[in-house]
Amino acid sequence: MIIKPDGTVRRHVSAIVLKTLLDQGLRVKAFKEMSVPRSLAEKHYAVHKERPFFQWLVDFLTSAPVIVMILEGEDAIEKIRNALGKTFVQDADPTSLRGKYGIWKGVNIAHASDAPETAKNEIALWTSEGGLEVSSDAQALASQYIEHYIKSDIDMTMKIRKTVVDAIESNNTSEGTIDILTELLGKDSNGINQSDIRTLAKVIHDFILEEISNKNK
């Protein structure tokens, strides 16, 4: 699974995602925070390459660091997908992770493999091209991450979501939204470069512009 940039730059949110999964008894076999090369993101999302949102999706995954993991356990895929909720934030159950912490539509905090075969292929890809490694330290690294960031108690989700939804609803294409999103996304972003946060804010702004344009077609 991957905690996407909108989850990873918000440390408290990523700690909650991790804790929720570990509390279900899943074991962390590999854990890595990394910036994603474009070629890797393109391969990861190759099944979507003909879709109109493909380039945006690659921009999104490469905008700021992600946390990539291999998780193991009985019914792991089902457990993870149930905990995350439906793909689009507005469709996700409000008690699910995406329902609580997702931003809007496909800006949805995490990706999880949807079947054992997909997991096998994604693990092979991220191992060979992303430097992801199974390690006996992985579980401890994830636990330390949770311990470090669960306390922060900063959660800007509702403000970020409102900024995005209001901009779409009011056809607000102003670049001032990028500044607002950069500030909100940066409030709990220990260790993440300011320029990566701004790149993520720009990608979310591109999503807003796309939604406005689709709405008015």
Closest residue to ligand CMP, judged by C-beta, is 106
R_g of the chain computed on alpha carbons: 17
Instruction: Compute the least distance from the CB of residue 68 to ligand CMP, in Å.
Output: 12
Q: Active site includes 48?
A: no
Q: Considering only the stretches 70-78, 103-111, 123-131, 155-163, report the one whose residues sit in contact with ligand CMP under the rule CB under 6 A.
A: 103-111
111 counts as binding ligand CMP under rule CB under 6 A: yes
What string of H, E and C letters represents the secondary structure of the chain? CEECHHHHCCHHHHHHHHHHHHHCCCEEEEEEEECCCHHHHHHHCHHHCCCCCHHHHHHHHHCCCEEEEEEECCCHHHHHHHHHCCCCHHHCCCCCHHHHHCCECCECCEECCCCHHHHHHHHHHHHHHHCCCCCCCHHHHHHHHHHHHHHHCCCCHHHHHHHHHHHHHCCCCCCHHHHHHHHHHHHHCCCCCHHHHHHHHHHHHHHHHHHHHHHCC
Q: Determine which residue in the list 62, 108, 157, 182 makes contact with ligand CMP, applying CB under 6 A.
A: 108
96 counts as binding ligand CMP under rule CB under 6 A: no
Q: Which of 12, 44, 111, 205 is catalytic?
A: 111
Angle between helices 176-185 and 194-215 (to 10 degrees): 130
Q: Considering only the stretches 9-17, 105-113, 123-131, 169-177, report the one whose residues sit in contact with ligand CMP under the rule CB under 6 A.
A: 105-113
Whether the Cβ atoms of residue 105 and residue 207 lie closer than 8 Å to each other = yes
Joined together, the tokens standing for residue 120 give 């096998």
Nearer to ligand CMP, 11 or 105 (CB): 105
# of chain residues touching ligand CMP (CB under 6 A)? 7
Q: Considering only the stretches 101-109, 116-124, 134-142, 197-205, report the one whose residues sit in contact with ligand CMP under the rule CB under 6 A.
A: 101-109
Instruction: Compute the least distance from the CB of residue 53 to ligand CMP, in Å.
Output: 4
Nearer to ligand CMP, 150 or 212 (CB): 212
106 counts as binding ligand CMP under rule CB under 6 A: yes
Whether the Cβ atoms of residue 112 and residue 8 lie closer than 8 Å to each other = no
87 counts as binding ligand CMP under rule CB under 6 A: yes
- Restricting to residues 47-76, which ones interact with ligand CMP according to CB under 6 A? 53, 57
Instruction: Compute the least distance from the CB of residue 189 to ligand CMP, in Å.
Output: 20
Would you tell me which residues interact with ligand CMP (CB under 6 A)? 53, 57, 87, 105-106, 108, 111
Active site residues: 111
